[in-house]
Structure 1
């Protein structure tokens, strides 16, 4: 099964101040600008095996870090920038429309950096449902508890993105319930596209501009999405983090995705379990409870950690960066710059350790 990784990283200068990527997004088709100026995204091509995905991701990231060194820039693997001044939005009609519709809440999205895992479409209904049930595994990569310097949750990115940015449009940015068919998923997309179009037109956006910038396939920013590229099912739940952590999660989730093609998928109870011949996912309300624990408590929650262990994750092998950063009620901008530089250095050392 083909799979790929997309990882977003903050770009800072030698003082830890957020800055634009400049030439970092010009040398390779695998590196792209994001919708805010100090963020870039590294994208691997589809890979058939995990070994190929691992080597490709590390080679691309190592090259990107070398380019950053040449430009006196540093990449930072944190889910939020901790604390910073205003974050500049890159001009685009798509972003302009979102800002008109979401209002001030759209600003929350400017503080979020995540990891996206893509898996080749096969048993798509089972893939959608199982990935939804794995949403609580976001806790394994929680990498910042801070938003604008203040502690908000163990996973600040997930909290501000889901609870704040899409507070008034929950189905556009929060986890969806299980589906019985792919057609049910696609009909939901059509309804949400129509509702977003209506909201946009109420804010004075022309129908022509909406149709030019959005489609039913890209109208949602949910933790699980269907994508036309490759084509894939995309899992967008976790923060960005160190590559050792991203690769561990990619392998664990990929193993479950491979397994579901040979196992019965059943929705039952509130515990969940992956066995040799069956994947039992909890009722959706139970998943939402685990998600809340993942966002607010992270892997420090015994109930969440037990759930993730039953679903096939060795929780003890993960080291969420939030653990190491947390502890202060408030982080000043100067302290945030120091933290960003510290974790930029950790990113470089992590890649070196993985390559050698």
Structure 2
């Protein structure tokens, strides 16, 4: 089964201040600008095996870090920039329309850097439902508890993205319930496209502009999505983090994605577990409870950790960066710059260790 990784990184200068990637996004087709200036995205090509994915991701990231060094820039693997001056948005038709519809809440998205895992479409209904049940695994990569200096949650990015940015359009940015068929998922997309178009037109956006920038396939920013590329089922819930941690979660979720093709998937009860014979996912309301624990408490929640262990994750093997950074109610701008530089160095060491191993 083909799989790929997309990761967003903050770009800072030698003083830790957020900065433009500049030519960092020009040297490779696998490095792209993001919708805000101090953010870039690294994408692996589709890989058939986990081993190939690991080596490709590490090689790409090592090369990107080398290019950043040459330009005097540092990449930072944190879900939010901790605290920063105002972040500038790249002006595109898509972002302009989103700002019209979401209003001031759209600004929350400017402070979010995440990890996206793609898995080749096979048993798509089961893939959608199982990835939905695994959404609480976002806690394994929580990498910032701060938004604009204030301590908001164990996973600040997931909190502000889901609770604030899409507060008034929850189905466009929050976790969806299980589905019985792919058709049910696609009909939901059609309805949300229509509702987004209606809301946009009420804000003075022309129907032609909306249809030129959006389609039912890309109208949502939910934690689980169907994508036309490859084509894939995408899990986009977790923060950006250290590559060793991203690769670990990619391997463990990938193993579950492989298993569901030759075993029964059942929705039942409030426990959930993965065995050789069956994947049992809990009722959706139970998943939502675990998601709340993942956002607010992270792996410090004993109940959440036990659930993730039952679902196939080695929770003790993870070291969420948020646990290292947490501990105060407020982080100043100067302190945030120091933290960004500290974790930029941590990223380089992590890549060096992966390269040597």
Q: What is the TM-score normalised by the length of structure 2? A: 1.00
State the SS of the aligned residue for 2:262.
Answer: coil
The aligned runs of 1:135-214 (5 Å cut-off) are 135-214=135-214
State the SS of the aligned residue for 1:260.
Answer: helix
State the alpha-carbon separation in 2 of the partners of residues 340 and 165 from structure 1.
Answer: 24
Q: Which residue of the partner structure matches residue 232 of structure 2? A: 232
Q: Which residue of the partner structure matches residue 86 of structure 1? A: 86
Offset, 1:277:
1.1
Q: Which residue of the partner structure matches residue 30 of structure 1? A: 30
State the SS of the aligned residue for 1:229.
Answer: coil
Q: Which residue of the partner structure matches residue 343 of structure 2? A: 343
State the alpha-carbon separation in 1 of the partners of residues 252 and 155 from structure 2.
Answer: 20
State the alpha-carbon separation in 1 of the partners of residues 73 and 336 from structure 2.
Answer: 16
Q: Which residue of the partner structure matches residue 321 of structure 1? A: 321
The aligned runs of 1:31-110 (5 Å cut-off) are 31-110=31-110
- Between the two proteins, the alignment pairs up a number of residues equal to 356
Q: Which residue of the partner structure matches residue 281 of structure 1? A: 281
Offset, 1:225:
0.2
State the SS of the aligned residue for 1:238.
Answer: coil
RMSD over aligned CA atoms reads 0.2
Q: Which residue of the partner structure matches residue 249 of structure 1? A: 249
Q: Deviations over 1:35-73 (max 9, x none)?
A: 000000000000000000000000000000000000000
State the alpha-carbon separation in 2 of the partners of residues 271 and 90 from structure 1.
Answer: 44
Offset, 1:271:
0.6
The yes-or-no answer on 1:269 pairing with 2:269 is yes
Q: Deviations over 1:177-213 (max 9, x none)?
A: 0000000000000000000000000000000000000
Q: Which residue of the partner structure matches residue 299 of structure 1? A: 299
State the alpha-carbon separation in 2 of the partners of residues 282 and 301 from structure 1.
Answer: 18
Q: Deviations over 1:195-243 (max 9, x none)?
A: 0000000000000000000000000000000000000000001000000
State the alpha-carbon separation in 1 of the partners of residues 311 and 237 from structure 2.
Answer: 16
State the alpha-carbon separation in 2 of the partners of residues 338 and 234 from structure 1.
Answer: 33
Give structure 1 regions of 4+ aligned residues with deviation exceeding 4 angstroms: none
Offset, 1:90:
0.4
State the alpha-carbon separation in 1 of the partners of residues 301 and 271 from structure 2.
Answer: 15
State the alpha-carbon separation in 2 of the partners of residues 306 and 170 from structure 1.
Answer: 28
State the alpha-carbon separation in 2 of the partners of residues 9 and 35 from structure 1.
Answer: 12
Q: Which residue of the partner structure matches residue 331 of structure 1? A: 331
Q: Unmatched 5+ residue regions in structure 1?
A: none
Offset, 1:98:
0.1
State the SS of the aligned residue for 1:261.
Answer: helix
Q: Deviations over 1:267-316 (max 9, x none)?
A: 00001000001000000000000000000000000000000000000100
State the SS of the aligned residue for 1:9.
Answer: strand
Offset, 1:29:
0.2
State the alpha-carbon separation in 2 of the partners of residues 2 and 238 from structure 1.
Answer: 20
